[in-house]
Structure 1
Amino acid sequence: MKIKEDNNRAISELGFTTISEVYSNEEIDRMIELIAKTDTTKDTFRKSKELFAVRQFLKEIPEIHTLVFNENLKQIIKDYFGKDYFVVKSIYFDKPETSNWYVAYHQDLTISVDQKIEINDFGPWTVKQNQFAVQPPVSVLENIFTIRIHLDDTDEHNGALKVIDKSHAKGIYRPETIDWNTETETICSVPKGGVMIMKPLLLHGSNRTTNQKRRRVIHIEFSDVQLPEGLNWSERIN
């Protein structure tokens, strides 16, 4: 019970927490096998020597649902966020062993939706791989939480997320305004089979891989907000 309370406090106060041993090695290996068998020629797949990514991951590989949403993850969602949350976005990232992919500090400020509708306080809009994305009001972003499932041991040597503690509570926070005299940076090491829970307004980034070990992560965002005026989450899964 104390661990749950500590994690809840960390999410609320710091904007993130990590939980180990959510998946067994066997479950992780089965996920990796399913991903490896997937047709990667679709528009939602991005493949280069630096990065392999799958947008709309849970839609593209539906047979992986029962593995991802095992009893441990379902209990985590229930314990930390309640029963009304649903999936609103899913992405798979693979940083290969030789990747020099560097991600600068940023917040996740857009949501994926089914169409473009001009609504007050929603914008700007973008389109990637035939997917509409829009920046919603801060209140919508504050409601979202992200679970990152780690398929590999991840630390500062192979691109673990680095975050600015408590930055999720400061609204829109431009990276160029970070005051390093007052802010605290944390490297979020997560073992294989563990998860990181974070708020999308948390400033986060990652460094280049230096130990020739890959980093594979399933990134899933959740919300319980109904969007206004006929706008719908494009990837909603209950």
Structure 2
Amino acid sequence: MDLQTHKDHILENGFTVINNIFSDKELEKIDEVLKNIDASNENFRKSEDLFAIRQFLKELPEIKDLILNANMNAIIHEIFGEKYMAVKSIYFDKPEKSNWYVAYHQDLTISVDKKIEIAGFGPWTTKKNQFAVQPPLPILENIYTIRIHLDDTDENNGALKVILKSHAKDIYRPETIDWNVETEEICKVERGGAMIMKPLILHGSNRTTNGKKRRVIHIEFSDMELPGELQWSERLN
């Protein structure tokens, strides 16, 4: 893996795709843990279009060492930096018949442990005692997101589409996209590979049309400490 090339691609375009991070044997072990999930847990969201687990690494601690294998740790250290830690994790399972469509957006919030008034932080949302807030821009610009794919994913089963270089344009409202100047790219990822992106890149996904499921583990990383008494709610060194 030429990680410097991938690092350059992220800095310039806002994302990169690295395949073959996990072996077949490692993927089988991950599948095994996911098969035995208790879906009745109240932190898990279940509908016919989507099954999701928030605070994924906290909810399934036995999966952490399977996910953070040697290849993944090398990627985190070489591309992000030595002090990066996981600060948010979600598991998405979009079933074969899912018609789940996601409009273009940026990821503008972080998960924190409490709600307190701090200059530059807001607006806030609270769901089931979980707090999310939009932080100042430098905190968002510092985050890297890894999306690990447990199924082959392309334009026919909801692969992410991105607008190249949009991560470098601060807060970018989707309704102001100028399609005369912007370039869209579909990010195909193989089972056992990952898409790495900056949360400020405009991204979305189309509905599944080929009847194939798409399972993704989404993990966000930062090396910043939050100000005052505020802490990352899912911090995992």
Q: For this structure pair, what is the TM-score category when the shorter chain's length is used for normalisation? A: over 0.9
Q: TM-score, normalised by structure 1?
A: 0.98
Q: Which consecutive unaligned segments of at least 5 residues does structure 1 have?
A: none
Q: Which consecutive unaligned segments of at least 5 residues does structure 2 have?
A: none
How many residues are matched? 237
Deviation at 1:110, TM superposition (A): 0.2
Deviation at 1:81, TM superposition (A): 1.2
Q: Distance in 2 between matches of 1:97 and 1:48?
A: 13
Q: Give 1:41's aligned residue.
A: 40
Q: Distance in 1 between matches of 2:29 and 2:128?
A: 28
Deviation at 1:130, TM superposition (A): 2.0
Q: Distance in 1 between matches of 2:128 and 2:25?
A: 33
Matches within 5 A, 1:14-53: 14-53=13-52
Deviation at 1:42, TM superposition (A): 2.1
CA contact (8 A) 2:103 2:204 kept: yes
Deviation at 1:182, TM superposition (A): 0.3
Q: Give 2:103's aligned residue.
A: 104
Query: Would you identify which runs of 4 or more consecutive aligned residues in structure 1 move more than 4 Å?
Result: none
Q: Give 2:210's aligned residue.
A: 211
Aligned letter for 2:95?
A: P
- When structure 1 is superposed on structure 2, of 106-115 and 39-48 the one drifting more is 39-48
Q: Give 1:220's aligned residue.
A: 219
Deviation at 1:128, TM superposition (A): 1.9
Q: Distance in 1 between matches of 2:18 and 2:171?
A: 27
- When structure 1 is superposed on structure 2, of 70-79 and 21-30 the one drifting more is 21-30
Deviation at 1:125, TM superposition (A): 0.3
Match status 1:201 vs 2:200:
yes
- When structure 1 is superposed on structure 2, of 34-43 and 228-237 the one drifting more is 34-43
Q: Distance in 1 between matches of 2:93 and 2:58?
A: 18
Q: Give 2:159's aligned residue.
A: 160
Q: CA-to-partner distance for each residue in 1:49-107, whole Å, 9 max, x for gaps?
A: 10000000000000001100000000111110121000100000011000000000000
Q: Secondary structure at the match of 1:182?
A: coil
Q: Distance in 2 between matches of 1:42 and 1:114?
A: 20
